[in-house]
Amino acid sequence: MKLEYDLVIIGGGPAGLAVALEAKRNAVKDVLLLERDKYLGGILPQCIHNGFGLQYFKEELTGPEYAERFISKLNDNQIDVKTETMVIEITPDKRIIAINRDDGLLYIQAKAVVLAMGCRERTREAIAIPGNRPAGIFTAGTAQRYINIEGYMPGREVVVLGSGDIGMIMARRMTLEGAKVKAVLEIMPFSTGLIRNKVQCLDDFNIPLKFNHTITRIEGGKRVEKVAVAQVDKNLQAIPETEEEISCDTILLSVGLIPENELTGEAGIKLDQVTRGPIVNENRETELEGIFACGNVLHVHDLADFVTEEGEIVGRAVGEYLKRNRKFRSQSIKIVPGDNIAYVVPQHIDFIVPGRKKIKIFMRVKKPVERIRINLLDDKGRVLGSCKKRIVTPGEIVSVYLAEVLLDNKLKNIIISIKRD
Amino acid sequence: MKADVVIIGGGVIGASIARELSRYSLNVILIEKEDDVAMGTSKGNSGIIHAGYNADFRTLKGRLNIKSNPRFDKLCQDLKVRFKRIGSLVVGFTQKDFRKLKELKENGEKNGIKNLEIIRGPKLFELEPNLNLQAKYALYAPSAGIISPYKFTIALADNAVINGVKVLLETEAKNIRIKEKQVCGVVTNRGLVETRLIINAAGLYADEIAKTAGDSFKINPLKGEYQLFDKQWGSLVNHILFPIPTKLSKGILVAPTVHGNLLIGPNSCRVKEKDDLSTSKAGIKEVHTGTRKLIPHLPHQDLISSFAGLRADIEGRDDFVIEASKKIRGFINVAGIESPGLSSAPAIAEMVCSILKEVVKEISPQLELNHKDDFIKILPEQPKFADYLDKKGEWQEIVEKDADYGEIICRCEKVSKGEVLGAIYQPVPARSLDAIKRRTRAGMGRCQGGFCSPRVLKILSEELKISPLRINKKGPGSEVLKTKTKDMIKETGVKFKNEARV
């Protein structure tokens, strides 16, 4: 097989698919897409619910349909695909070592690499819930795979911990399959998922959502028998007097996603402590030139549509990179999160791009706030971009446009600030 | 069913004895009530091979530990089990601690350990750069080592099986049959095994087994909680770090594991139930507080697992009980094997073997205890991809011979399908997700099986030719899946009255 490529993309989910097609549109010749599963699409094929594509295609699709829109175009675009191939190492000089059944170990040299490995779910262990360790504890995504891909129900009486999107979607899915979802517990006073999911997945099915609640203990010998549940105080500590027991045979965990950056770290690429993804510039290029990252490996997105959008940014950027058609700013501009901003992507701006009018800056807040204005300020407090919001929550990414024309050569930092409107 | 010897219990002690007895032309059966070996104390402990300075030489604990320690290198090489002699440091902060360290050193030297050394000053921090800056002294014992206790146990049992021992899993001893003060059989949930020789290595339950044979002692479970951190933190410490020991325990330690994780624990807490493996908020806190005295900064964000283990603490005695019953013939108790039990296992097995020889002379003189000529002491290598990351060319050859080794099932620990199949077909076979995990590490990593468990479940179902609904996590009753999709809704008959916005 061919072992030299202009572009190698690691991960065939929505990010990788978008990069592949957009790179082709930007005259990148040889593209290889590596995927560890049997099929492309990443997590989309198991997301059989609808709600995909509203932003990108302006129509409502299921996960598999959304994925298929991209997958079906790969062949016509002469994009090489290798499924069931696990990448085990990326070197700073863009050599990729992968393994599969047919070839054994593959050593592939790329001119550009895109990291699109997605994320993994936080586990019971990551949040250290005390108690026993019986069967019946699943992350919501693993339960989703069992039901929607393997065709088996992993539980009858379910308690869901965490009101992340997958948790709420699985609460509905299991209800539709005849399971009894006894409660969805959320330690925060607000839902960490999309509002539309709370309405359509929980409210419509009378599934109780308990804010400020968590699981304090898991009980059961061989299989989960019950959980102890308690209300938490302001410091998120369980209040013992409020503890009650809920009998159940299954616990689903939807307690957060972690970008899957082991390969990235081992390649020596610096990670952002908050996003746990690589630090990137506006091209989503990491600190190693020619190695890019997009999708959930970079930071966890709310919607697949936004992942696609980011993949396309990278597809274009790879084209520019391979054409050696880029002009660096004399100085990189760092974007600094201010009060109540958890993180920002991109973390810096490196290029001068003729004709570019604005740059979209993505961020997440730490705490929900209402009726605010988000400003992008320079060192002197001058507004470089601004956006008014009725409400912002940690569950939804906010984006603000930065006006290119206002970026002068000496600019070092841009500070993000939130103001009551 | 008949056997010359029945060993009750498939922990590290039962497995060590089984392997030792498999050197002889004897018909040996090991029975284990769980679905795998190493399911009790041997699964949840620190995995330390102690140097042997703690216990008094006049005790079995002291003697057997010292005798066993030097053997681990060769034994583990033969059994293809990872063992690292990384050395231990008992850390002291005060003058009083210093005196205690001197006492330990003197005791160790009496026991015959030659290379003990008290370290102080900057050298301490050269050895352990992340150690609490308040630390002043440490007793350095280079001969201490780390091992995976369950992998060691499984390998011992595998080796015993290769040499003719029968291991019967999910087989619980219910009663000992006795005739004229002589053992004549074990009644199990699967029927009677006739035998004139029984070795009671039932760990936490050794008292209950002994009671059915008329011996009385009491085993109290003593729980210890642990936490395990991601592989990137294994190098936070270079040695096994202990605090100053108390009468009750060697204290809460910090150590790397043989697989590069960081392990902290255990605390020590009396519990009522012998199956109480629950972790608690208070216990975890105690472990953290204890650990911080040695290593002030713990990587809490990279915690991957919390678990508990139970020590088999024998009441009213501070030593192992390894002796033939005085009440009935043909019954040998190996009980109260708490720390340093793992470290002493090889010598315990030998001691049991010589007791057995005496008993045999008395009760079955016709039974000849001869060494077999064809004893196989070496286990074949089971290739593991994670071990070949630096020699990928060799792995390529393995994949070319068998493509299953090219299919990665567990991404975190880099485990191939070939390895999972190897675990299913090894002498003591894996039948559950956890048994696969212990043998291959699939599911042991940072995602804790989120990615690989559906895949491992499928492989188990295909290979064992049983429905996925019957595949369990840790023995019968812990099945992972409930029904096929569409079957549950048929059973419950739930109808959705108003069309929901789905």
Q: Please report which confidence band the pLDDT of residue B496 belongs to, taking 50, 70 and 90 as the band edges.
A: low
Residues of A in contact with B485 (CB under 8 A): 147, 151-153, 177
Class of the CATH domain delimited by B1-81+146-218+315-380: alpha beta
CA pair distance A411, A334, nearest whole angstrom: 9
Which residues, in sequence order, are CB contacts of A12 under 8 Å at separation 6+? A33, A34, A35, A37, A40, A41, A42, A81, A83, A116
pLDDT score, position B495: 67
Domains of chain A by residue range: 1-121+257-325, 123-255, 328-421
Tokens of B354: 């010589």
d(CA A359, CA A347): 12
B-chain residue closest to A155, CA distance: B482
What are the distances in angstroms from CA B62 to CA B114, B319, B341?
A: 15, 9, 10
| ipTM for the predicted complex | 0.94
**Whole-angstrom distance, CA of residue A187 vs CA of residue B203:** 41
Q: How many CB atoms lie within 10 A of CB B103?
A: 12
Torsion sign over Cα B128, B129, B131, B132: positive
For B142-201, give the DSSP string.
TT-EEE-HHHHHHHHHHHHHHTT-EEETT--EEEEEEETTEEEEEEETTEEEE-S-EEE-
3-state secondary structure of A85: coil
Give the tens place of pLDDT for each residue, B111-158: 999 999 999 989 999 999 999 999 999 999 999 999 999 999 999 999
Task: For Cα atoms B101, B228, B310, give the angle at the middle one, nearest 5 degrees.
Answer: 70
CATH number of this structure's domain A123-255, picked from the four choices 3.30.1490.20, 3.40.50.720, 3.50.50.60, 1.10.10.10: 3.50.50.60
Chain A nearest-CA residue for B284:
A130
Q: What is the pLDDT of residue A421?
A: 80
A328-421 shares the fold of A1-121+257-325:
no
Look up residue B255 and give its two tokens.
Answer: 């150590």
Chain B residues with CB inside 8 Å of A139's CB? 450
Judge: A204–B501 Cβ closer than 8 Å, yes or no. yes
State how far the alpha carbon of B179 is from the alpha carbons of B4, B183, B213, B280, in Å: 16, 6, 11, 46
CA distance B431 to A382: 66
Mean pLDDT is lowest, of A289-298, B5-14, B171-180, B490-499, for: B490-499
Q: What is the distance between the alpha carbons of residues B299 and B279, in angstroms, rounded to a whole number?
A: 19
Name, in order, each residue with C-beta under 8 angstroms of B73's C-beta and a sequence gap of 6 or more.
B83, B85
Q: Is A190 exposed, middle or buried (0-12, 13-18, 19+ CB in 10 A)?
A: middle
Of the candidates B305, B406, B448, the beta carbon closest to that of A104 is on B406
Interface test with A, best of B448, B498, B499 (most A CBs within 10 A): B448
pLDDT greater than 60 at residue B499: no
B487/A134 Cβ within 8 A: no
| CA A29 – CA A47 distance, rounded (Å) | 32
Strand extents, DSSP E, B32-135: 48-49, 83-84, 88-92, 117-120
Q: In the numeric block, which tokens belong to residue B95?
A: 């003058």
Chain B contact set for A151 (CB, 8 A): 484-485
Give A56 to chain B, closest Cα distance, Å.
Answer: 21
Across chain B, what does the average pLDDT equal?
Answer: 95
**For B451-477, what is the mean pLDDT?**
97
Q: Do A178 and B490 touch (CB under 8 A)?
A: yes
Q: How far is CA A354 from CA A121, A324, A405, A414, in A?
A: 40, 15, 11, 21
CA distance linking residue A312 with residue A21, whole number of Å: 8
User: Are A110 and A96 a contacting pair, CB within 8 Å?
Assistant: yes
In the Cβ-directed half-sphere of B123, how many Cα atoms lie within 13 Å?
9
Tokens at residue B278, please? 């629950």
The predicted pLDDT at position B497 comes to 57
User: How many whole angstroms separate alpha carbon B445 and alpha carbon B302?
Assistant: 11
Which of these CATH numbers, 3.20.20.70, 3.30.9.10, 3.40.50.10310, 3.40.190.10, describes B88-142+223-303?
3.30.9.10
- As given in the structure block, the two tokens for residue A50 are 């609808």
Contacts of A124 in chain B (CB under 8 A): 448
Contact (CB<8Å) A152/B494 = no
DSSP codes of every residue in B265-293: E---EE-S-TT---B-HHHHHHHHHHHHH
B472 neighbourhood in chain A, CB within 8 Å: 135, 222
Interchain CB distance below 8 Å, B414 and A88: yes
A361 forms beta bridges with A400
- B391-470 sits in which CATH class? mainly alpha
Give the closest of B307, B406, B485 to A153, CB-based: B485
Query: Is it the case that residue B40 has pLDDT exceeding 90?
Result: yes
Return per-residue pLDDT of chain A as tens, 421 residues. Answer: 789 999 999 999 999 999 999 999 999 999 999 999 999 999 999 999 999 999 999 999 999 999 999 999 998 999 999 999 999 999 999 999 999 999 999 999 999 999 999 999 998 877 779 999 999 999 999 999 999 999 999 999 999 999 989 999 999 999 999 999 999 999 999 888 888 899 999 999 999 999 999 999 999 999 999 999 999 999 999 999 999 999 999 999 999 999 999 999 999 999 999 999 999 999 999 999 999 999 999 999 999 999 999 999 999 999 999 999 899 999 999 999 998 999 999 999 999 998 999 999 999 999 999 999 999 999 899 999 999 999 998 888 999 999 988 888 889 999 999 998 8
For residue A86, what pLDDT is reported?
97
Question: In angstroms, what separates the C-alpha of A348 from chain B's closest C-alpha?
Answer: 26
Gap from A223 CA to chain B (nearest CA, Å): 5
Distances (CA, A) of A142 to A48, A164, B449: 14, 14, 9
Q: Cα B278 to chain center, whole Å?
A: 18
The pLDDT tens digits for B348-389 are 999 999 999 999 999 988 888 889 999 999 999 999 999 999
Per DSSP, helices labelled H in A5-130 are: 14-25, 63-74
Mutation for B interface: A103, A123, A181, most B CBs within 10 A: A123
**Range A214-226 burial, b when 16+ CB lie within 10 A, else e:** bbbbbebebbbbb
Nearest residue of A to residue B302 by CA position?
Answer: A126
- Three state DSSP letters for B114-149: CCCEEEECHHHHHHCCCCCCCCCEEEEECCCEEECH
Amino acid at A266: E
pLDDT at position B452: 95
Instruction: For residue B238, count other CB atoms closer than 10 A to its CB.
Output: 18
Size (chain A), residues: 421
DSSP bridge partners of A351? A328
Residue B193 in this model has a pLDDT that exceeds 60: yes
Give the nearest partner residue to A100 out of B406, B411, B476, using CB atoms. Answer: B406
CATH class of A328-421: mainly beta
Confidence class for position B424, pLDDT limits 50, 70, 90: very high
Q: Does B237 score more than 60 pLDDT?
A: yes
SS3 state of residue B228: strand
- The domain made up of A1-121+257-325 has a fold known as FAD/NAD(P)-binding domain (3.50.50)
Q: Which residues of B are catalytic?
A: 50
Cβ neighbours of residue A328 under 8 Å, at least 6 residues apart? Answer: A350, A351, A352
Average pLDDT value for residue range B83-105: 97
Give the C-alpha distances (Å, rounded to integers) separating A251 from A153, A220, B114, B401, B445. Answer: 13, 12, 53, 42, 20
Considering only CB atoms, which chain A residues are within 8 Å of B280? 130-131, 217
| pLDDT given for residue B502 in this prediction | 41
Which among A89, A145, A221 is the nearest to B454, CB-wise? Answer: A145
Q: What six digits make up the tokens of A73?
A: 């175009």
Residues 6 or more apart whose CB falls under 8 angstroms from that of A137 comprise A124, A218, A224, A250, A251, A253
pLDDT 10s digits, B313-350: 999 999 999 999 999 999 999 999 999 999 999 999 99
Separation between Cα atoms, residue A155 and residue A150, nearest integer Å: 14
Partner-chain contact A204 B278, CB within 8 Å: no
SS3 A407: coil
Q: Are strands A244-247 and A226-231 parallel, antiparallel or unpaired?
A: antiparallel
Determine, for residues A135 and B473 on separate chains, whether the beta-carbon distance falls below 8 Å.
yes
If pLDDT is split at 50, 70 and 90, which confidence band does B501 have?
Answer: very low
pLDDT (0 to 100) of residue B500: 47
Using CA coordinates, name the residue in chain A closest to B434. A135
